[in-house]
Structure 1
Amino acid sequence: MKAYIFPGQGAQFTGMGKELYENSPLAKELFEKANDILGFRITDIMFEGSAEELKETKVTQPAVFLHSVILAKVLEVKPEMVAGHSLGEFSALVVNGALSFEDGLKLVSQRALAMQKACEIKPSTMAAVLNLEDKIVEDICASIDGIVVAANYNCPGQLVISGEYKAVELACEKMKEAGAKRALILPVGGGFHSPMMEPASSALAAAIEATTFSNPTCPVYQNITASAVSNPAEIKSNLISQLTGAVKWTQSVNQMISDGATSFTEVGPGKVLVGLVNKINKEIETISA
Structure 2
Amino acid sequence: MIAHEIGSIHPRAIPKIVEAMDQCHATSLENHLQKYILEPLQSLDHPQPFIIIIDAMDEWRDHPTFIKALAHLNSQSRIVKFIITDRLNPCASHLPGIERVFVYTYALGPISKEVIKAYFHKHLETVPWVDGRRATPVDVEKLTELSGGLPVWASTVIAVLSHRFGESPPHEILEEIVGSKRHVGSDDGLGELYGNALSRLFHSPEEQRQLRRYLGASIALQEPLPPSDFEMLSGIRSYLTYRVRFALSALQTRSPPPGSDDMIYPASALFHLSFIDVSSKLSSFRRCHRLAIYAATNVTP
Shorter-chain TM band: under 0.3
Higher relative contact order (CA 8 A, sep 6+): 1
Which structure's residues are more often strand, by fraction? 1
TM-score by length of 2: 0.23
The structure with the larger Rg is 2
So what's the TM-score if we normalise by structure 1? 0.23
